[in-house]
Copies of this chain bind each other. A is one copy, B any other.
Amino acid sequence: MIAADQAQRSATAPGDSTGKLFVGMDIGGTKTAAVVIDEAGNLGAETLLPTAQGNDGVLNTAEQALIALAEQTGCAVSDFTAAGIGIPGQVDSAHGIVRYAYNLSVQSLNLASLLKERTGVDIAIENDVTAAAVGAAHLMQLNGSVAYINLGTGLSAGIVVDGKPWRGAQGLAGEVGHLPVDPRNRPCPCGQRGCLETVASGSALKAYWPAGGEHPGWVLAAAVADGDADAKLAFDLLVEGAASTVRAMGVVMAPDAVVIGGGLRKIGAPLLDGIRAQLAAWEAESPFLSGFTLSQKLQVLPEGMPAATVGAALSPRV
**Could you tell me which A residues sit within 8 Å of B by CB distance?**
90, 100, 144-145, 157, 159, 166-176, 178-181, 183, 190-192, 244, 247-249, 251-256, 282, 285-289, 291-293
Contact = CB atoms under 8 A, between A and B. Distances in A.
Contact of A288 (B190, B286, B287): B190
Contacts of A253: 159, 166, 168, 173, 252-253
Given A181-B180, A183-B183, A248-B179, A254 B288 contact: no
15 contacts: A167-B254, A169-B254, A169-B256, A169-B292, A170-B293, A171-B254, A172-B291, A178-B251, A179-B181, A179-B251, A179-B252, A180-B181, A183-B183, A190-B286, A190-B289
Contact of A287 (B191, B248, B291): B191
B288 A251 contact: no
A192 B282 contact: yes
Contact of A286 (B191, B282, B293): B191
Contacts of A176: 251-252
Report the copy number of this chain in the oligomer.
2
Given A157-B252, A248-B248, 5 more contacts: A178-B286, A178-B289, A179-B181, A180-B244, A191-B288
A188 to B, nearest CB: 8
Nearest to A99: B291
B254 A168 contact: yes
Given A285-B191, A289-B191, A291-B90, A251 B175 contact: yes
Contacts of A292: 169-170, 172, 175
Nearest to A297: B169
A172 B286 contact: no
Contacts of A181: 179-181
Contacts of A179: 181, 247-248, 251-252
Contacts of A247: 179-180
Most chain B beta-carbon contacts within 10 A, residue among A144, A145, A249? A145
Nearest to A294: B169
A224 to B, nearest CB: 26
A285 B170 contact: no
A169 B255 contact: yes
Contacts of A174: 252, 254
Contacts of A144: 169
A192 B285 CA distance: 7
Contacts of A172: 251, 254, 291-292
Contact of A254 (B175, B180, B249, B287): B175
Contacts of A244: 180
Nearest to A173: B254
A208 to B, nearest CB: 19
Contacts of A173: 252-254
Contacts of A248: 179, 248, 252
Contacts of A288: 175, 178, 190-192
